[in-house]
Amino acid sequence: MAHRHHGLAEVDHDHAHHDHDHFHEHVQTATAASRAQLGLVATLMGGLLVLSSYYIQWFSSATDKYRIETSTTGVQTVVYDYQFHMDLVAAVGAILLSIRILVHAVRNLIRGHLHMDELVALAIVAAFAMGDYRAAGVIGFFLLLSELIETRTALGARASIEDLIRLTPTRARLVRDDGTETEVEAATLGAGQIVRVRPGDNIPADGEIVHGESTINQALITGESLPVDKVEGDPVFSGTSNLTGALDIRVTKTGKDTTLGRVQDLILQAERTRIPIMRMIDKYVVWYTPIVLMLAGLVLFFQRGSPSALSNAITILVASCPCALIMATPTAMVAGLSCAARLGILIKNVAQLESAGRLNAIVFDKTGTLTTGELAVTRLSPAEGVDAADLLASSASAEQLSHHPAARALVNVAREANVSLHRPAHFEEVPGQGVVARLNGDQILVGRESFLRKRGVNVDTATASAAQGHGLSQLFVARGDRCLGWIGLEDRTRPAAREAVQQLQALGLRRVMMLTGDRQAVARKVAAEMGCTEFKAECLPQEKLDLVEHMRREGYRVAVVGDGVNDAPALAAGDLGVAMGAAGSDVAINSASIALLNNELTRLPFLIRLSRQTRRVVIQNLVFGVLFIVCVISLGAFGAITPVWAAILHTLSSFVVVFNSARLVRFGEDQPTHEQIMGESAPTPTAASMAAASA
């Protein structure tokens, strides 16, 4: 009882901590919302007051309520009867519009940070000094409008994250030990608890079905356009929709640990990263403000005595605020990330999105990547005096703790054949070679021929028999030092794999290599089907790593594509690591720089096309931003445009960059969200067919 009481205390503490954090988040959100609302009201009021000033001027001109005065120098100025009222409302409006900009600039200067916002702040102060309050107000208004455009663009690009967040249910039906249901907060769920999900509900946490069958729509997690049938023992993901049947689910992960939470974190993490060109801009930006101030000073010096000198200098300051240039790269990259996320491609760093377009070589792992990874046992070949059922029972019992596709195939066929399995007392898996288990006091070995030979098992008789199994993946089985026989398995290639390889070659990838730990005959057959330029069979994990590093030393930019589990070292060694079918696998998501939530191989050539298109858009934005600043500064220096027009053009330039980048969000809309990558399931061999095969 003391132990149980301690657990409840921990739960209560966690709940209190969660409520405390939730309260602070709520307060911070409410404060931010209040500030944003106050800023919006001030902007609207300031804009209306400045607009009213222009209306007073128009009204005075229309009713001839003005006079023309000539100064001692012969300069004529127009003085309106309502000049005081016009200046008053314009000044108040300008203050409301520019106060945020001025405060922000002063704070930056106090902290010793020199940003480009200070240029506009200086232009507003100069406009106030020369008494042109309307120009000050218009400059402030359009700068705030540009800021709003930038903010809304960032928010719009995060729509995929917001959609994911809305998927997560806030309530869940917890099933007690006595079978009763209690509605609880989804955030309070813990691993091992059972929740009941009815048809039409979203699943509140990652878990495993313990009772019931249903059809699940998991499109926003895996990208699959068609719902997936789920039965007992199948995994399910938080935020996916239960369509048809009631399910009891054992919770395995909650909150940010779920696949949905990991997806959200990955997208947010990617948005905070920077590509090399952005870092280069940051490096030289400290020189930008002094250069602009120097240009404005030169205009004032050479145009001294001219009545438009100060106005021209203000125009230069307004035009030089490089919002279009600053937004050129981030808007394009965030739009590219959003497009990729829509198709189930999660990119951890925007630099990886940029580098994908420069690849010229790609390395595929065979099992689970070019093939479905769902092996089917097609042949049992027991040694003389060994029963086929004994061969199957020994191998399946030894492999049942392994997650390798071959292990799953053995366990599945054993269950189909109603063969009893025993849990091993000891289990050890040697990556790429086989497993060692202890059953009923005997050591069971399952793996490659070389693996058994190294352990002192004579497999000559079995090897002679196995020579007939061309094109089959073969597992040799031994009890102690006696070989019990071999088992043949086949893996199906993915329907879209050959098409993906052809598209990659058309995009300029000169080397398409397949690596596998399988035998030479199997590797040659799959490589020929896929159209790979080269392959390497019987390849251990260290050999895969060495091969990728060798290709990079030869000057190739290499992408490595695998399941993210057995290929983690090679994935990390490549210029780009892509984990296939990463939904539900933390290892896959963590081991690669890019994770595909589905197994659609045609996403790879699409990623390269997206990368190249994103780079083109970035270059277009940067060229436009530079040309815009140069042209408008030049026009302003010679008095061709006023500060007001400079502010308007400044905002229009931001619109151009945003809309140009927004095209990326819709890039590839003609592509289906997901093609069925699994063909018709091959019939699972029955016990009768196994007996026939062994005969």
Packing angle of the helix pair 159-167, 323-342 (nearest 10 deg): 40
Long-range contacts of 630-639 (CB under 8 A, 24+ apart): 632/315, 632/319, 633/295, 633/316, 633/319, 633/320, 635/315, 635/319, 636/312, 636/315, 636/316, 636/318, 636/319, 637/295, 637/299, 637/312, 637/315, 637/316, 638/312, 639/308, 639/311, 639/312
Q: Do 249 and 211 touch, CB atoms closer than 8 A?
A: no
Which residues lie closer than 8 Å to 478 by C-beta, 6 or more apart? 444, 445, 446, 452, 455, 457, 459, 484
> Rounded distance, CA 402 to CA 153, Å?
47
Which conformational region is residue 74 in: left (phi greater than 0), alpha (psi within -120 to 50 degrees), or beta?
A: left
Q: Residue 514 carries which side chain, given as an amino acid letter?
A: M
Q: Could you tell me the CA-to-CA distances from 468 to 224, 386, 465, 684 in Å, in that order? A: 39, 19, 6, 22
Q: Is 532 exposed, middle or buried (0-12, 13-18, 19+ CB in 10 A)?
A: buried
Q: Which two tokens stand for residue 384?
A: 């003389």
282 C-beta neighbours (distance < 10 Å), count: 10
Q: Do 424 and 397 touch, CB atoms closer than 8 A?
A: yes
Return the HEC string of 395-425.
HHHHHCCCCCHHHHHHHHHHHHCCCCCCCCC
Catalytic pick from 206, 365, 491, 567?
A: 365
Q: Could you tell me the CA-to-CA distances from 73 to 201, 307, 375, 571, 651 in Å, in that order? A: 81, 11, 95, 77, 37
Distance of CA 606 to the CA centre of its chain: 15
Measured CA angle at 584 (ends 421, 184), to 5 deg: 100
601 C-beta neighbours (distance < 10 Å), count: 26
Q: Do 111 and 89 touch, CB atoms closer than 8 A?
A: no
Long-range contacts of 447-451 (CB under 8 A, 24+ apart): 447/475, 447/476, 448/475, 448/476, 448/517, 448/538, 449/474, 449/476, 451/476
The beta strands (E) that lie in 441-481 are given as 442-447, 473-479
> Rounded distance, CA 261 to CA 107, Å?
36
229 is an active site residue:
no
> Rounded distance, CA 53 to CA 557, Å?
61
Alpha helix segments (H runs only) across 321-435: 323-342, 350-356, 388-399, 405-416
DSSP summary character for residue 426: E
> Rounded distance, CA 644 to CA 314, Å?
10
> Rounded distance, CA 219 to CA 394, Å?
39
Return the HEC string of 268-303.
HHHHHCCCHHHHHHHHHHHHHHHHHHHHHHHHHHHC
Beta bridge partners of 579: 562, 595
Catalytic residues: 365
